Amino acid sequence: MISPTAKRSYSVSGLTALAVLLSLPLAVVAQDRQATVRADECITIFNDVVRQVDVNYVDTLNYEDLTETAINAMLRKIDPYTVYYPKKNDRELRMMTTGKYGGIGSLIQQRPIKPKGESRKAKANKDSLATYAVNPYEGKPAQRAGVQAGDRILSIDGKTTKGLTVSEVSNNLRGVPGTTVVLELEREGIDKPFTVSIVREDIHLDPVTYYTCFAADTLSEPVGYIAFGEFTEGSALAFTNALDDLYYTRGARKLIIDLRGNGGGIVDEALQLVNLFVEADQTIVETKGKTANSQRTYKTRNTPRYKDLPLIVMVDKHSASASEIVSGALQDLGRAKLIGQRTFGKGLVQNVRPIAYGGHVKVTTSKYYLPSGRCIQAIDYSERQKGHELKKDTAGGILPDIVMNDSAKVDICYSLYINNHFFDYATRYHRLHDSIAAPQTFELTDEEIDDFCTFLEERNFEYETETGKYFEDMIKMAKHEDIDSTTLARLEALRPELKPDFREAILRNKDEVKQMLGSEIILRYYYQRGQAAYNLRYDNELKRALQELK
C-alpha cells in the first residue's frame, strides 16, 4: 500500500497510478502462491518418505517420536524460539505463558554418584545420576512439607527416579493441583530413607523476587530497589504494589529497577510497567513482520503514577525480550539511565498457535523496534545463545549508559561451584547449625573457611585449572607429534607448577569464597529473598547505581 504522502510525490496520470496500486497486491499474491507451492512440494516429499519407510522398514517404528524429532530438527534450523509443543507438553506451555504450574514448588538437580573406589573422572551414565531438591521455594508445598535443599529424591509415588532424566522427574512431580505426590527422600545425617506426602498446588512464582528501601543516612533521599524476575500474567501489578509500598510506606523517592537475569515474557506487562513512568500515548515498541497481524504499535494508555521519579535500570547479558523493551524504551525516552552489560538482543516476537491433535507451535512472527527505531534483535544471536559476548559494534541488544565489566572469572570459585562443593557444605552446615544471623549481617569466619577446606580434603577435592587441562592436552599432542625427549622433559617439569594447592587458591580468593559459600548457606535458612538481601551487600553494580542517584 502507498501512503497518501507517497502518492502525492508521484507525477503520474490517474490511470497509471491505478495500475501501480493494482499491481502491488497481485505481486504479493503471486509471491505467496509460489511459497505455498514450494511448501506443498516439500510436504509431499516428507509424506512420501514416511510412507516408504512405513511399508518397507524391517522393524516397527514409533511414528509419534519420529515426527516430533523431525519437527524439532526443522524448527532448530529456523531460530531457537520457534518451538513445537505436543499435547503432552501443555503444562510446560502454560507455565511459560502464565508463570503458573501444578506442582510442589522446588527446583531439582541431577548429579553423578560414583561408587567408592571408582575414578573421579569416570564418565557418568544415566543410571548413576541422582536427583536432588536444590531450592524449595519459601511457602510452597515442598518447603511446608519439610523438604530441604540437599535431599535426594529416591522415588516418586513408589517409582524409582533411577534412570530418569531431570525433565522426566520434573514431569512426575508436576500434576493436577489438589492431588497428592509421595516422595521417598534420603537426607544426610538421617540413617534411613523417609517419605513425605505433598499436596500439589497451582504454583505461581512471584515476579518481584525481592524489594527493599535503602535509608537516607548515606544518600540524599531514600532509594527503593525492586528485583523483577519475569514478565508473566499479573507481573506489572505485582511490580506496582511493591513500588507503592516503597513510595508511600517506606518513603522511597528514587528507584532502582533490577532486570538482570530477566528473560522477558508478555509484552503487555512490559508496556504497563513502562506506563508507570511515561506519559500516555507514547510509542514504547513496534513489531514488524510479514503479515498484517504482525504489524503493531504499542503505546502507553494511562496517566503515569510516577512520572518524575528518578530511575536507574540495571541490566546484564541475560536481560532479554520484554526486559529489553522496558530498559530500551526508558532509555530512548530519556526516562532512565541504564547500568550493567549489553543485553541479550532477543528482539524476535513469538505467537502461540494451535495445531492438529491438541498441540501448539510457538512461531516467530515479527521483530521488536524501540521508539528510536533501533531493532532489539542481535544480528549474531546464535553466538549469544552459545554464551558468547556481543561485539561492541554489533547491532542489537541494549547498550547501557554506564557499562560495567562482567566480574565473572574462571578461578577456584568456579570449580567449587560447578562441582557442588558450596552446595554440599551448606547442606552439612545447615544440619549442624539451628540458626544463623540475619542476611544483612551474616558472615563466615576464617575458622569456618578453614573447616570448609577440611571438608574439601575429606572429599578428595582436586583443584584442576582450565590451564592445567589445556596443558595435559598439549603434552599428549607433543607425544603424538614425536617432539624430542629434551623438550618433553622441560614440559613435564612444568606440571607441578600447574597443579595449584587448593588451600592457597582459596586464601587468594577468600572474599569471593566467603560470599559464594555464604550465599548458599543463607538460602538454607532465609530462602530466596534472604539470599537476595545477602548478595546485594557485595553488588558493585548496585553500589554504582546508588552513587548515580545521590
Residue 454 CA: distances (Å) to CA of 306, 426, 450:
53, 14, 6
Please determine, for residue 19, whether its predicted confidence score (pLDDT) is greater than 50.
Answer: no
User: Looking at the predicted structure, is the pLDDT value of residue 11 above 50?
Assistant: no
User: Has residue 161 been placed in a domain?
Assistant: yes
pLDDT of residue 428: 96
The answer to whether residues 368 and 290 belong to one domain is: yes
For the record, the C-alpha cell of 196 comes out as 513425605
Mean pLDDT of 5-32: 41
pLDDT score of 218: 67
What is the structure's pLDDT at 7?
Answer: 36
Residue 17 has what pLDDT?
Answer: 34
Question: Are 276 and 340 in a shared domain?
Answer: yes
Residue 361 CA: distances (Å) to CA of 171, 189, 354, 364, 520: 20, 47, 7, 10, 38
Confirm if 228 and 256 have CB atoms less than 8 A apart. no
Residues 200 and 212 occupy one common structural domain: no
Residue 58 lies in a domain: no
Regarding whether 372 and 254 lie in a shared domain, the answer is yes
Query: What pLDDT score was predicted for residue 80?
Result: 86
**Average pLDDT score over residue span 112-140:** 72
Residue 213 confidence (pLDDT) above 60 = yes
Q: Cell numbers at residue 426, please?
A: 551448606
Q: In the listed set 204, 227, 252, which residue is the last one of a domain according to the structure?
A: 204
Asked if residue 70 belongs to a domain, the reply is no
Q: Name the phi and psi angles at 348, rounded to 5.
A: -100, 135
| pLDDT the model gives residue 118 | 46
Q: How many structural domains is the chain composed of?
A: 3
Residue 111 reports pLDDT greater than 80: yes
Q: Does 440 reside within a domain?
A: yes
Q: Could you write out the DSSP letters of every residue in 518-536?
A: HHHHHHHHHHHHHHHHHHH
* 307: in domain: yes
pLDDT above 60: residue 60: yes
Residue 334 within a domain: yes
Q: Round to whole Å and give the CA distance between 128 and 112.
A: 6
- Does 13 fall in a domain? no
Q: What's 140's domain CATH number?
A: 2.30.42.10
Question: What is the pLDDT averaged over residues 480-484?
Answer: 82
Q: pLDDT category, 9, cuts 50, 70, 90?
A: very low
Q: Are residues 238 and 348 in the same domain?
A: yes
The reply to whether 331 and 309 lie within a common domain is yes
The overall average pLDDT reported for the chain is 87
Higher pLDDT, residue 385 or 439: 439
Distance CA 42, CA 300 (A): 44
- Tell me, what's the pLDDT at 20? 34
Q: Which domain holds residue 188?
A: 100-204
Same domain, 429 and 456: yes
| pLDDT tens track for 486-534 | 888 888 888 777 777 899 999 999 999 999 999 999 999 999 999 999 9
Q: What is the mean pLDDT of residues 399-408?
A: 87
What is the model's pLDDT at position 2?
Answer: 35
- Name the band, by pLDDT with cuts 50, 70 and 90, for residue 99: low
Residue 299, in any domain of the structure: yes
Shared-domain flag, residues 526 and 389: no
Count Cβ atoms within 10 A of the Cβ of residue 243 and give its class: 0-12 exposed, 13-18 middle, 19 or more buried. Answer: buried
CATH number at residue 269: 3.90.226.10
Task: Answer whether residue 455 shows pLDDT above 50.
Answer: yes
Specify the pTM: 0.82
**Do 318 and 423 fall into the same domain?**
no
441 and 305 both lie in a single domain: no
pLDDT (0 to 100) of residue 30: 58
- Give the integer Cα–Cα distance in Å for 531 and 426: 13
111 and 223 both lie in a single domain:
no
Q: Measured between alpha carbons, how far is 173 from 170 in angstroms, rounded to an integer?
A: 5
Per-residue pLDDT of 272-318, as tens digits, reads: 999 999 999 999 999 999 899 899 999 999 999 999 999 999 999 99
How large a percentage of the chain has pLDDT more than 90?
A: 65
Query: For position 254, what pLDDT does the model report?
Result: 96
> Do 356 and 441 belong together in one domain?
no
pLDDT of amino acid 14 = 38
